[in-house]
């Protein structure tokens, strides 16, 4: 019997006397037997299939490295990245539109079209406000937006262009720029009625034209006088306008209104009180027909509004820089064009107010603008207003005044707010006005040329405008100024 057999027997037959060594040997033999017995079923189980080594693939595919991991830079479309990195890639506005540029956060292309967003219910009004410091690229963005929209059948109107920078674009796209200024042959009558839209009856049209003329004359007089008109002054304007319409047999001109204010009919003013009450208004309006502002708006229009043109712009660059006068002239030019645009069947149109703060620098002009702004949606118009800072509007009227409330509501009506670089002192008020987050606010002073923070109906995007070489050449305002210097 060999050692092994002895041990085996020892497991089942316990001899009466065993030495310590024998007992240990028996226990070990028993343990070995039990281990072998319990291991038996495991050996019959199928081994799990191993596809990869337990420690992963050896080599670079293991993504383990004793030195820092370097992955080559990769760019791709937002469609790809939104799957690869769902937490990083933004989905944009998920709406068609013209290409603007790149989303600086995600690298995705950014497109925008206010009419598409409006139709989809993403915004309730297609108006746009752009604000930024001098030279930030605000006008370039406005130009890119409307120029690229032309291919989609939209038309473009620039009711007042104090720097004349839209003229070159109007001419390049087959449109027209009307140049106004002392010594220029063109004259516009801001009291022109415009074309009656087919959907408006004759009576409605007469009432609309009358209301528009009264509001314009009132706004011009208030702005020149620097105060609110009294009820008698409003009556004086009303009576003079009626008489001027009768005298002209249809379209009155400003000199006729001034004349009637200074010399009303006996029948209209039997006790000569109206002439007394209307005298300040007459002198305020007289500035438009005599003196420094004469010629441009004091006779029948020498140009016709051509609705078939893709673009029409009012070039006021020849008007001498005189802040108050320029605001008034811009208002007259805008009024003439807005009248022509008051047609719900006129299609989708951009109306661009560059240097818009001038048009709203006075409460009366702001009120007129607000009315126009509200009508725009009904006419299929998207207004685009360019400011330097959003607090431009805060300078109109006193805190808590009606004018300030109008300014605030005007901003509230623009659901697309594009903020370009801001001065540090403007960051706080801008953030408060737009409800920016801390991260968005922190970006404002550091935005580069052509970069803006777009707030559209609750969403925010950091977009860098990309310009084609041809666009760059057309939009280059720096070259224009350096050439003049």
Ligand X SMILES: Nc1ncnc2c1ncn2[C@@H]1O[C@H](COP(=O)(O)OP(=O)(O)OP(=O)(O)O)[C@@H](O)[C@H]1O
Q: Which of 107, 135, 307, 346 binds ligand X (CB under 6 A)?
A: 135
Token pair 């209307």: residue:
278
475 touches ligand X by CB under 6 A: yes
Q: Using CB atoms within 10 A of its CB, is residue 272 exposed (0-12), middle (13-18) or buried (19+)?
A: exposed
Least CB distance to ligand X at residue 131 (A) = 10
With CB cut-offs between 5 and 8 Å by kind, which of ligand X, Mg ion, none does residue 359 bind? none
47 HSE (CA, 13 A, CB side) = 4
Q: Which two tokens stand for residue 120?
A: 């989809």
118 touches ligand X by CB under 6 A: no
423 touches ligand X by CB under 6 A: no
Question: Please, which residue, 92 or 137, has the CB nearer to Mg ion?
Answer: 137
Q: Which of 90, 92, 97, 132 binds ligand X (CB under 6 A)?
A: 132
Q: Edge-to-edge strands of the sheet including 459-465?
A: 109-112, 98-103, 459-465, 451-456, 416-419, 128-131, 381-387, 349-353, 155-161, 311-315, 176-179
With CB cut-offs between 5 and 8 Å by kind, which of Mg ion, ligand X, none does residue 416 bind? none
DSSP E strand boundaries for 409-484: 416-419, 451-456, 459-465
- 357 in Cβ contact with 238 (< 8 Å): no
Q: Which two tokens stand for residue 64?
A: 């383990």
190 touches ligand X by CB under 6 A: no
Q: Which of 104, 136, 418, 456 binds ligand X (CB under 6 A)?
A: 136
Query: Which residue has the closest beta carbon to ligand X?
Result: 450
476 touches ligand X by CB under 6 A: yes
Query: What whole-number distance in Å separates Cα of residue 288 and Cα of residue 281?
Result: 12
Could you give the 3-state DSSP secondary structure of residue 112? strand
DSSP 119: H
134 touches ligand X by CB under 6 A: yes
Question: Please, which residue, 297 or 475, has the CB nearer to ligand X?
Answer: 475
Note every long-range contact of 257-262, with CB atoms under 8 Å and residues 24 or more positions apart, other chains counting: 257/191, 257/217, 257/285, 258/282, 258/285, 258/286, 258/288, 258/289, 261/236, 261/237, 261/285
Q: Which of 100, 108, 131, 140 binds ligand X (CB under 6 A)?
A: 140
Site map (CB under 5 A) of Mg ion, residues 123-162, x = contact:
----------------x-----------------------
Least CB distance to ligand X at residue 467 (A) = 5
Question: Please, which residue, 1 or 134, has the CB nearer to Mg ion?
Answer: 134
Query: What whole-number distance in Å separates Cα of residue 294 and Cα of residue 414?
Result: 35
Question: Please, which residue, 161 or 343, has the CB nearer to Mg ion?
Answer: 161
Binding segment for ligand X (CB under 6 A), chosen from 108-116, 265-273, 291-299, 470-478, is 470-478
* 98 phi/psi in degrees, rounded to 5: -80, 150
- 383 in Cβ contact with 419 (< 8 Å): no
357 touches ligand X by CB under 6 A: no
Binding segment for ligand X (CB under 6 A), chosen from 114-122, 235-243, 334-342, 476-484, is 476-484
Distances (CA, A) of 418 to 167, 350, 373, 433, 445: 24, 16, 18, 13, 14
Least CB distance to Mg ion at residue 347 (A) = 26
With CB cut-offs between 5 and 8 Å by kind, which of Mg ion, ligand X, none does residue 467 bind? ligand X
Binding segment for ligand X (CB under 6 A), chosen from 134-142, 262-270, 360-368, 422-430, is 134-142
Q: What angle do CA 157, 159, 165 make, to 5 degrees?
A: 80
Least CB distance to ligand X at residue 132 (A) = 5
Least CB distance to ligand X at residue 100 (A) = 10
Q: Which two tokens stand for residue 364?
A: 């009366």
Query: What whole-number distance in Å separates Cα of residue 160 and Cα of residue 333?
Result: 6
Binding segment for ligand X (CB under 6 A), chosen from 84-92, 115-123, 129-137, 207-215, is 129-137
Map the footprint of ligand X across residues 426-465, applying CB under 6 A: 449-450, 465
Q: Which of 137, 164, 194, 264 binds ligand X (CB under 6 A)?
A: 137
Q: Which two tokens stand for residue 454?
A: 């777009």
Query: Which residue has the closest beta carbon to Mg ion?
Result: 139
Site of interaction with Mg ion (CB under 5 A): 139
Site of interaction with ligand X (CB under 6 A): 132, 134-140, 449-450, 465, 467, 472, 475-478
């Amino acid at each position: 019997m060999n050692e092994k057999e002895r041990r085996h027997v020892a497991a089942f037959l316990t001899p009466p006397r065993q030495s310590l060594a024998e007992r240990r040997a028996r226990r070990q033999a028993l343990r070995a037997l039990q281990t072998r017995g319990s291991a038996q079923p495991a050996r019959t189980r199928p081994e799990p299939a191993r596809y990869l080594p337990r420690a992963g693939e050896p080599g670079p595919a293991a993504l383990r490295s004793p030195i820092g991991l370097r992955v080559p830079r990769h760019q791709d479309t937002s469609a790809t990245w939104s799957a690869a990195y769902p937490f990083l890639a933004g989905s944009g506005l998920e709406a068609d539109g013209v290409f603007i540029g790149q989303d600086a956060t995600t690298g995705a292309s950014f497109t925008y079209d206010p009419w598409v967003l409006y139709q989809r219910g993403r915004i309730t009004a297609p108006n746009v406000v752009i604000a930024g410091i001098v030279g930030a690229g605000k006008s370039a963005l406005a130009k890119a937006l409307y120029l690229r929209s032309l291919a989609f059948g939209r038309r473009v109107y620039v009711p007042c262009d104090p720097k004349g920078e839209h003229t070159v674009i109007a001419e390049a796209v087959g449109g027209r720029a009307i140049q106004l200024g002392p010594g220029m042959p063109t004259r516009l009558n801001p009291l022109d009625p415009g074309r009656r839209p087919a959907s408006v009856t004759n009576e409605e049209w007469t009432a609309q034209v009358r209301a528009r003329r009264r509001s314009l004359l009132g706004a011009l007089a208030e702005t020149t006088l620097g105060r609110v008109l009294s009820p008698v002054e409003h009556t004086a304007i009303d009576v003079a306008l009626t008489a001027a319409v009768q005298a002209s047999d249809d379209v009155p001109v400003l000199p006729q209104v001034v004349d009637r204010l200074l010399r009303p009919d006996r029948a209209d003013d039997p006790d000569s009180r109206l002439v007394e009450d209307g005298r300040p208004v007459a002198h305020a309006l007289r500035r438009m027909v005599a003196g420094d502002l004469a010629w441009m708006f004091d006779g029948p229009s020498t140009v016709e509004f051509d609705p078939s043109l893709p673009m029409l712009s009012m070039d006021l660059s020849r008007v001498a820089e005189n802040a108050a006068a320029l605001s008034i002239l811009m208002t007259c030019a805008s009024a003439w064009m807005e009248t022509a645009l008051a047609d719900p069947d006129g299609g989708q149109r951009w109306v661009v107010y560059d240097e818009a703060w001038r048009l709203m620098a006075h409460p009366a002009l702001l009120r007129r603008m607000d009315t126009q702004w509200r009508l725009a949606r009904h006419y299929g118009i998207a207004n685009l207003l360019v400011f330097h800072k959003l607090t431009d509007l805060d300078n109109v009227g006193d805190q808590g005044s009606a004018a300030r409330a109008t300014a605030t509501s005007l901003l509230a009506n623009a659901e697309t707010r594009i903020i370009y670089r801001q001065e540090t002192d403007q960051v706080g008020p801008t953030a408060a006005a737009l409800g920016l987050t801390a991260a968005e606010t922190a970006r404002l002073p550091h935005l580069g040329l052509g970069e803006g923070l777009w707030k559209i109906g609750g969403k925010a995007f950091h977009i860098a405008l990309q310009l084609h070489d041809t666009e760059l050449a057309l939009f280059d305002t720096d070259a224009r100024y350096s050439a003049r210097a």
